[in-house]
Every structure is written in structure tokens, then in C-alpha cells.
Amino acid sequence: MTVLVAAVIVHDKAARRVLVLQRGDHAKFGRGMWDLPVGKNEPGEPVTETAVRELYEETGIVVDAASLKVVHVVHAALGVEAPGGFLTVVFAADEWSGEAENREPLKHAQVRWVEVDALPEEFVRGNGLALRQYLDGVEPQVSLHGWA
């Protein structure tokens, strides 16, 4: 079975920065790597609500589900806790409320704003590609990983 996942690019266009997190020592994958706020869908939950919930749980940032824009889809053949693969819907939001903080310190080393011209190099592959393409103005697309 494919696991459904949501990720959110929070884009502060005026300050030319995005919100990212660094995966911690206890992360299930990508330890030490940078990533977008991201998480798995709960049964019966619309993927937009997954995005809103996970963003808030991880960072304290609140967005309106209706304001989310789909900017990328990542479909991977394999994943941690997803032997049947996963499908990540990457959303962007440029309106939010709250102050960014690391609300899951056992999973993440840090949560912080970074300038769009100074993105960390060590980024989780699929989400890093989605973020860079979004910032470059590439139209939404699907990325495939691990398929023959």
C-alpha cells in the first residue's frame, strides 16, 4: 500500500525566505538532513488537512487549508515505513500566522527560516527538488524515485 504524505513550503516572499527543518538524531530517515515540514496522512483525513496539521505540529505555524497551492508531487517506490512506496503532495503557502519553533525536538534538530538564495545543500532529495523547482518558477510536476 502506498503511504500518502503532505509537505509544506512556507514562503515569506517579502523577506525572500522559506521555513525548513533539520532532521534530528532520532529521525527515522535523513538524520542531519534538511527537509520541509512533512508528515503522513491519517485515515479519513484530506491531504490538505494533513499539511495543515503536520506543519503546526512540527513548527507552530498555522496556514489555512484553502490557501494551499499544489506545487509538486513526489512518487517513490520505497520509503521508511512505506514498503509499498509513498506519494508526497508538496504544497506552498505564502500566508500564515504564528512564530516558527521546533515543536518536535526529538525528531528535529532545528526549525528555521533560510534565505531562498542560501538553501542548505544536504536536503532530503524529493522535497529538496520540489522546493528548488518551486522557487525557480517551474510549473507543478510529478517526480518519480526508485521506479524501474
Looking at residue 72, which CATH number applies to its domain?
A: 3.90.79.10
Boundaries of domain holding 96:
3-145
- Residue 13 burial (C-beta neighbours within 10 Å; 0-12, 13-18, 19+): exposed
How many structural domains comprise the chain? 1
List the chain pLDDT tens, one digit each, 148 residues.
899 999 999 999 999 999 999 999 877 777 899 999 999 999 999 999 999 999 999 999 999 999 999 999 999 887 667 678 899 999 999 999 999 999 999 999 999 999 999 999 999 989 999 999 999 999 999 999 888 7
- pTM here is 0.94
Cβ neighbour number for residue 45 with a 10 Å cutoff: 14
Phi then psi for 36, rounded to 5 degrees? -85, 160
